[in-house]
Structure 1
Amino acid sequence: MLEQNTNDKVIDFRRMAAEYYQKAAWNQLLALDNYRERNFQVAERFAQLSFDDQMHANEYAELADAESSLMLEVELEE
C-alpha cells in the first residue's frame, strides 16, 4: 500500500511539473507575440510568468526525483 501511495505521489509531482512546463511554454509564446507587437511591458510580464512557471515545474520535477530515489532506497533495503 505504501508503494502505491508513493507511486501516486511521484505521478502527481510529474503531472504538476508537466502542467507548469506547458504554462511556461504558452506564456513564452505570448511574450514573443507581444514583443513582436512592441508591447514591451506586456511581453516582459509574460516572460516573467514563463520564468516563474519554469521554476515551479523544476521544483515539482525535483520532488518527483527525490520521491523516486527514496522509493528505490527503501526497495534496496528490503
Structure 2
Amino acid sequence: MKFIDDLYELYKDQLVGDEEDAIALVLYALQDHSKDDFIKLIQEMSEEEVYQMLGNYLIEKLKDKMDKEGIGQFTPHADSKNIH
C-alpha cells in the first residue's frame, strides 16, 4: 500500500520495530485527516487490501465485544468443589 510505504520511508530511521512504534506512527499520521481523505485512500487500495483492512477491523471489533461480554473467559463458580 502506497500510504504505508511512504509513511515508512519518512520515519524508518526513527523506528525501533515494536508494535508501539506502529501504533503511534499510524495514529499520528491519521490525526490531521478527514473522512474524505480516508475515502480517497481506500479508493486507491486494491480489492485485496480493502478486504484485509475490513476483515482486520471486524475481527478486532468482534474480539472487543466478546471481551466486554465475558465470552471465552473462565469464571469459577463459588460452589465449585473441584480444584485442579
TM-score, normalised relative to structure 2: 0.32
Computing the radius of gyration from Cα coordinates, the structure with the larger value is: 2
Greater helix proportion: 1
TM-score, normalised relative to structure 1: 0.34
